[in-house]
Every structure is written in structure tokens, then in C-alpha cells.
Structure 1
Amino acid sequence: MAVSQTNLAWATLLDLAPPQRGRSSLHDRLARALRTAIRDGRLPAGAAVPPSRALAEELGCSRWVVTEAYGQLVTEGYLAARVGSATRVSWSPQAPPPAPGTRRAPTPPPIRYDLAPGLPDLRAFPRRRWADAVRAVTGSAVHYDLGLPDPGGHPQLRATLAQYLRRSRGADVQPGSVSVCAGVVDGLVRTCRALRAEAITDIAVEDPGWGRLRDAAVSAGLRVHPVPVDHEGLRADDLARTPARAVVVAAAHQFPTGTVLSARRRAQLVRWARAVDGFVVEDDYDAEFRYDRHPVAVMQGMDPRRVFLLGSVSKTLSPALGLGWLVVPAPMDRALRAANSLAAAPPVLDQLALATFVDRGWFDAHLRAARRRFRARRDLLVRTLAAEIPQTRAEGTAAGLHILLHLPDGTDTGKTVRTAAAAGLRLADLDDYRARRTPQRALVLGYGNIGDTEIPPAVALLRQALPSPR
């Protein structure tokens, strides 16, 4: 039973109007209104109704009217009154029985282990430090910070992000070129709207790649052209075969293949953008996590007039924060603002909290701890897979929060995913990220949000979901 400590009846619309024919007492009408609200689900089971004296004052009637109505509903079983405690709703509608001859849909088993990609370690979110940052900015924010937010973001966070990106990612950026947004997808939608306004109608994306980026470009009115990815990253030569004048690329760590865009391909992309008078949109989604060497600097520093840079804290802190950034090439700044005149910036206090979190060094400390944790977890997953399922092969740069696991030839990957789900293990099929299906059999395994002790039993379930080796 849902238990609420809030007197929900205060905010529940109660119709006390008398019927059109006949007369009824006020306590009868109040009982009927409360009964209707309960049966309609507006007052759920466990919700507290106001004290009789308080509700009588609110309704402008005697307390006797309210106590009589409550007493009637207690008798009918709609309310439960206990000495020393609030009077609460005790009735809830029951689900109707299934029609004869029908079968209930089977309830899917709960997911015990999650090896799907997409999330960081949510259990390691720095709650105390983040709460300290929120508390600090709530107490120190000046009154005009509490007004309507600047569409481009609060100046303090823009300055902090510019300094952070210069220091840690090698970006060529000033505070004025940073726009604060809700995340990478939001930033890409804004970018695509600006491109569309500048008569760029076609954009290339990596294949395989994150489907939400393709969807974001389509939603902004662009035609999407998938371009294959190989061991050096996006095949830049193939761009010439498309009408695209913009391309989205995860240069530091491609999703889902895990490749790093080679220096040769980076130079090719910049030359291509200049030749077609176009732009590169760099998705820097998890570049902070590189375990075998220092992270690769962003492409944006190679030509800040031709490269947009997208980033967020979704992989470093939590996607629930809804905080990201977009570094805009100077020639596109006006077009981006004009094309997104109604786009809303994230809440100002959240922006100031992130600025404080970074400025006080807490973000860097969190990243150092996260890198150690994810490196050890990745190594554990790769070792366990090699020992328990030697017929598979792990692939991908030692970076980010996922690996690619190649399955034996002839494996039905979709069936493997479904069998694992039935046993309580969530997996992701590489084909789910492709624009075109291929005969390649592989899983995309995420290790960000699974505990170290959960990896061995998760791999055991994966082994059971695969066909027995011949």
C-alpha cells in the first residue's frame, strides 16, 4: 500500500455542489465528494486526509460536518481512523478479472544483472559532494540568478566549462562559444537545427552508432547517411559518396565498436569539412575514461571554426542531472541561437552546482577514482570472459564503459539476448546499433553500472545463454 505523509485532500478537487433535484446535507455531499475522489484514484490508498478541524476551516463549515463525513466513510471502509495517527484512505480499486478464455501476459522476470551499455556507476555518484555544491550555491546565489535562465547557460558555468575543456580535452574554446544544454542529444538537436537554417540538409553518421543521434538529426529535419566504421574509425573516404556537408563522429572512443579515430582520419575529416564548406560534430561522450594511456585530445582543437563539440556529465556523473555542453564554431554562433530561440537551458541552480563541483576540484577527484574503478572492472570482465567463454573474443580500446564481444560463427545473437533476459541478464545486440544488418555476431557489453562481485555470475548466465560449443 502506498503511504503518503502528505494530506493529499488539501489539493484534491472536491465537488460539493448539491444535486439538481432534491436536497442533501453538507456532510452527505462532502462524504460523496471524498468517496468519488477515492474511487477515481485521485486519493490513493494510504493517502492522509486533513484533520477535521483544518478541513472544516478550509471549507467554511462546522467541524461536525467533517467528522460526520469521515465517520460515514470509515463505516463504509473507505477510510481508516487510528488514535494518535492521521485518518487515511483504506480502499483501492481492484483490477478486473480477465475475461473468460483469455490468458494473462506472462510477467517478465526481474533483471538481476545488467551488462547493457549506457550507464556509469550510479552507486558511486558523489552524493555528499554534490549535495554540498547544491547547498553552497543555494545559499550564495544572488537574487537575479533566480530569474529566467540565459538561453546559452549561466556565465559562471560557461567559464568553468571552457577552462575545463581547455585543460583536460585540449579544446580551443572561450566562454562565449559554450552553450549549456541538457545533454549530447539536446546539443545535437540544436546543432542540426542550426545546420538546417544554413541550408545544410544532409548529415553523415557512424554505422554502427548510437541510434538516438540518428533520431535527433531526423527530428531536426536533416537527411541521415550512415557511413561504415572500421578499425581506424569512420571511413572518411566514404563521405565523398554522400551529399552530406556535416558528419557526427565519436573521435575519442567510438560507440559501439570502441575504436579510436586515427590521426590520418582526423586530418581527412577536417580537410573534407573545409572542402565542402561543412562541419564536423564531435561527440565526446565518454572521453574522460582512457585506461592504457592519456585521453586523446578533441578534434575541435584542430579547427574550431569547423568542429562542433558535444559533451555531458551523463557518463561521468549521472544522466539524471541533465547537464551538457555544446561548443559552437564562431561562424555558426548566430545561426545556432536564432534556430533555437525557444530552447531552454537547464535549471540555473543545477548549473551553478556543477560549476562549483568542478571549481572545487571535486570533479577531477571523482574522475580519478572512477578511472581506477572502471579500469579494474574492465580487466575483470575481460579475464572472466576469456576463462569462462573462451570461444568468444573481446574487442575495443581500453577506454569508456563498454566492450565488444564477438560470438562464435552461427550464433543467433537475438536468441542469445532473449534467453539471457529470461534468466535475468540484460544484454545488447550489436545489430541494434546498425543502420544496416550484417552477418557479424557480437554483443555490446557495458560494465559501468554492474558491481565487481556481479560480473562472475553475470558471465555464467551469458555462458548458459550461448549454444554449447561443438
Structure 2
Amino acid sequence: MRDSWATLGVDLHLDSAAAGSGRGVRAGLTHALREAVRGGRLSPGTRLPSSRTLAADLGIARNTVADAYADLVAEGWLTARQGSGTRVATRTAPRTEPSSARPGRVPAGPAHDLRPGSPDLASFPRAAWLKAARRAVTHAPNDAFGHADPRGRPELRAAVAEYSARTRGVHAEPERVIICAGFAQGLRLLGTVLAAGGGREAAVEAYGLDFHREILSGTGLRTHPLPFDALGTDPRGLTRGQNAPAAVLLTAAHQFPMGLPLHHERRATVVDWARSGGGLIIEDDYDGEFRYDRQPVGALQGLAPDRVAYLGTASKALAPALRLGWMILPRGLADEVAAAKGWADRAPGALEQLTLAEFITSGAYDRHVRSMRLRYRRRRDQLVRTLADRAPDVRVTGIAAGLHAVLELPEGTEAAVLRAAAWQQLAVEGLSAFRHPQAPPYGPDAIVVGYGTPADHGWTGALEALCRALA
């Protein structure tokens, strides 16, 4: 029995108008294929249907297709090899230079990246992740392939609740866990709910990420900075009553970027503010797993589960591209956030969630974190030793935990160091880039160095470029 056209090979759409009127069938097909390649719709390496499949799709003779393919192979548009089929040929595109570029002077991007905020992506545990993915897909219930619950897969919510309670001291039940596509989505959802409830303002730390402030502003909440001093963020200025902010955003375990934990007395102060005035504490626990010279600082949420929205992600421990994060919320707030998330905003995908759940429950997540903790500590120690030898005027701070350090510089030299780093093709951030526009400067000039970002083979070169910039 002749095969149905619906079961043959790969699909290929050809514009019938491309053949033009007056051409023969073979010439028209050859022209349509050539134009699809020339216009970029068929990219180099694309495998074309077999002559039998395309002939069946187009309702023409198989020899006509074979002859058209042969013509295009002869012209260099296609290649045909035994066992590989017919593919679009790879051609060298002519090099072009921007009109403003000087001949022989192409601006170079950074050769070394020491910006904070990213782990060593080359260390992603590919084999272990693939093993977890296989097990997750093999054992996935049928409903995992249907429409997802906006709260997230129950398997991952249970795994996150157990892991956060065990490692971070969080009070968590799966019913209060909502899976989100990273911290940014979680913060946006919280801001949306707070603004819808009448909130007008959120307090933030004097130093932090500007796009977090932009997310809150985008939901309708104004942001104002809390003071910062030698003990870190100072929440004693949080107002109460009618003009109190709806929430305060804190990196309590390891202030970003300064690197200090929230002082124990100030932890009590902010919890008292939230309980007495009904405000919400949004806790960004962005790198709580990575500590080196001290016992882990437990999550602030453990002190007031009813007033803290705890946000964590797999971005630092695994990779940002996974887009996997979680919120552990007060019970009533969890329902509101789930409703705001809704059925139209269900990312990330169920299979990725099941894979992470398997990765956590199998112990692979813990093993990977411990391995990376040792690797990052070696890098941090090498950074401190090298700077003590090569740049003794630079004071390294904020290094008891996390993936970055603050390098305090002589007064008035931050801009000069950043220019020198650019000449060394080194990407770093100045501390002033993280300051809230309404916050006064604190302390000396400084740069923020992310020692987690480079792959192992690039770490030594990046450290050498940093020393040259500081010199």
C-alpha cells in the first residue's frame, strides 16, 4: 500500500508563487528552492525532504524533484551525501565592517568577565541533570503533560519545602510554595498583588540591583532607600501607620552587594515592624547556600513565617537559564499570588520542574552545591592572596559568603580603575552602579568583583587582568 503523504519524512513549505508563471515544473521547483536558500528561510545545514517525500507533498513526479535537487547541487546551493541526505550547503558569507569602523580596528568586547551575579556556567552538572531528566520523564504522571497548575508541580513544591526547611531554616509547607520563572517574576507578582491591595511604596536597600527597583516601580510601587552603615542595612527608619511602605525588600543573609548579613538586632527590628504594622518583608535569599568562614545565617523567614515572603532560585547553584525559582509565602498571600499568576502565566515548564524535583530529592543538588562551595572558596582565597601581594592598598570585604567580593579603593579612584579595566578587556562593576538614586554614598570608592563567573580555564587570566587594572 502506498504511504500516506502525512507519514513521509520531514516537512518543507515552498511558496508556489516563487516558481512564477510560464516556467516548467522542474524549473519552477528549482527556482523556489534556490530563493528559499538565498533568502535565508532555509539555513545552512537544513536537511531537505527526500525526493519521494517532496514529490508526494507537491503532487509531482519523483524524477522532477531529483533533477531539481541535482541542479542545485551542481550550482553549490545544496549538498548530497550518502547516508546524510540532501542538505543546504554551508557558504562563507562576505565580511562586512560597520561604516564607522576604522580599517583594521575592530572594537573588542571583554575578554574577561568578573561582573557579579552569575555562577561558573561551565560547571553546570550536565550528566547528573540529564540523569535526573530521564528519571523525571520516565516516572512523570500523565497529568504532567497537560495544563499546569499556576502554583507549580506538586513534586517540586514538596522538594523545595523540604530543602528550604532543612538547609535554610525556613518554615514551609508545599501549600505555601509557588514555583516561578526566577526571582524577577516572583518580585513582579508580589508587587502586583501589593499595589492591587492599595500599596503605594516599598522600602529597599540603599545598595542593590537597579532592575529590582524597576520591577517594583513597574507594578506601581515607589521605592525609597533604607540607610546603610557599618552594621549594614538599617531598618529602624521604617515608618508605621498610614504612610508605612507596603513591603521592604531585603537580602538578609548576605547583603548584595556589600556582603554583610543583616545584624541580629536589626532582624528583630524589621520583624517587629512587619508584625505591628502589617507590612510584608520580601526576602531575597539569592546565594544562601554559599558560605565559607562562618556558620550559615538562617533565613529571616524562620523568625516570622506569617510576615515574610521568601524567594529562592536555582540560578546561583545551577544556572540562570533554567528559569526556576520559588516563593514561600504566608498562607493568605499564597492564594492571592497564585490568582495573580493565573493560568496564562504558568512558566516554567512542567518537565523542567519535575527534573529539578528529582535532582533535589536524589541528593544530586546537595552534592553539586558542596562541590561548588569548595571550588568558589578556592577562588576566593586565591583572589585575597593575590591582591594582598599585588595590590596591598586594596581592602577586600564581604567575602564570608557568596560569589563576589567588594574591593575598597583609595578615595576618588573608582572611575579610573573602571577605565583601566576596560583597557584590559575586563568587565567589572563599580559600587556606585548599585546605589539607589536617592541614597547618599557610603564608604570609600569600590568595585564589585564576581569570582564565580569565569570558567576554570579563564580564572587565572581574569585575575591577572584585574591586578593590572588595579596597578
TM-score (norm 1): 0.89
Separation of aligned partners in 1, 2:218 and 2:28:
51
Matched residue type, 2:247 = A
2:281 is aligned to 280
For the Cα contact (< 8 Å) 2:205–2:225, is it kept in 1? yes
**Deviates most, 198-207 or 456-465:** 456-465
* 1:378 counterpart = 2:377: no
* 1:464 counterpart = 2:468: yes
Matched residue type, 1:463 = C
The alpha carbon displacement at 1:123 in A equals 2.5
For the Cα contact (< 8 Å) 2:247–2:282, is it kept in 1? yes
The alpha carbon displacement at 1:370 in A equals 1.8
Separation of aligned partners in 1, 2:191 and 2:225:
16
Flag the 1:55–1:38 CA change in 2: closer, same or farther, 3 A: same
Flag the 1:451–1:87 CA change in 2: closer, same or farther, 3 A: closer
Matched residue type, 1:343 = D
Q: How does 1:252-267 map to 2 (within 5 A)?
A: 252-267=253-268
**Deviates most, 33-42 or 239-248:** 239-248
2:3 is aligned to none
For the Cα contact (< 8 Å) 1:183–1:323, is it kept in 2? yes
* 1:362 counterpart = 2:364: yes
Flag the 1:386–1:453 CA change in 2: closer, same or farther, 3 A: farther
The alpha carbon displacement at 1:154 in A equals 1.3
1:434 is aligned to 435
User: Which 4+ runs in 1 deviate beyond 6 A?
Assistant: 98-102
**Percent same amino acid among aligned pairs?**
42
2:4 is aligned to none
Matched residue type, 2:145 = L
2:13 is aligned to 13
Q: What is the aligned residue count?
A: 457
Flag the 1:447–1:101 CA change in 2: closer, same or farther, 3 A: closer
For the Cα contact (< 8 Å) 2:253–2:285, is it kept in 1? yes
Deviations 1:327-371 (A, max 9, x none): 111232232223222321421122122122111222222222222
2:411 is aligned to 409
Flag the 1:88–1:422 CA change in 2: closer, same or farther, 3 A: farther
1:146 is aligned to 145
Q: How does 1:63-462 map to 2 (within 5 A)?
A: 63-82=62-81, 85-90=84-89, 94=93, 103=102, 107-240=106-239, 243-341=244-342, 342-411=344-413, 413-436=414-437, 438=441, 440-451=444-455, 454-462=458-466
**Deviates most, 155-164 or 333-342:** 333-342
Separation of aligned partners in 1, 2:98 and 2:366:
59
Flag the 1:218–1:11 CA change in 2: closer, same or farther, 3 A: farther
For the Cα contact (< 8 Å) 2:408–2:445, is it kept in 1? yes
Matched residue type, 2:269 = Q
Q: How does 1:2-41 map to 2 (within 5 A)?
A: 10-17=10-17, 23-41=22-40
The alpha carbon displacement at 1:381 in A equals 0.8
Flag the 1:165–1:109 CA change in 2: closer, same or farther, 3 A: same
Give unmatched runs, 5+ long, in structure 2.
1-8
Structure 1 counterpart SS, 2:211:
helix
**Deviates most, 53-62 or 170-179:** 53-62
Structure 2 counterpart SS, 1:68:
helix
Matched residue type, 1:441 = D
Separation of aligned partners in 1, 2:18 and 2:39:
19
For the Cα contact (< 8 Å) 1:184–1:311, is it kept in 2? yes
Separation of aligned partners in 1, 2:328 and 2:281:
12
Separation of aligned partners in 1, 2:416 and 2:187:
34
For the Cα contact (< 8 Å) 2:121–2:455, is it kept in 1? no
Deviations 1:404-446 (A, max 9, x none): 01122231x3453344234332211212212238484211111
Separation of aligned partners in 2, 1:104 and 1:281:
52
Flag the 1:15–1:237 CA change in 2: closer, same or farther, 3 A: same
Deviations 1:34-79 (A, max 9, x none): 1211121111233333332332222221122113322333444433
For the Cα contact (< 8 Å) 2:19–2:29, is it kept in 1? no
Aligned-pair RMSD on alpha carbons?
A: 2.6
Separation of aligned partners in 1, 2:256 and 2:274:
22
Separation of aligned partners in 2, 1:393 and 1:365:
33
For the Cα contact (< 8 Å) 1:44–1:92, is it kept in 2? no
2:6 is aligned to none
Separation of aligned partners in 2, 1:347 and 1:85:
33
For the Cα contact (< 8 Å) 1:225–1:244, is it kept in 2? no
Flag the 1:459–1:374 CA change in 2: closer, same or farther, 3 A: closer
Matched residue type, 1:231 = A
The alpha carbon displacement at 1:146 in A equals 1.5
Flag the 1:97–1:349 CA change in 2: closer, same or farther, 3 A: closer
For the Cα contact (< 8 Å) 1:323–1:346, is it kept in 2? yes
For the Cα contact (< 8 Å) 2:380–2:399, is it kept in 1? no
The alpha carbon displacement at 1:402 in A equals 0.4
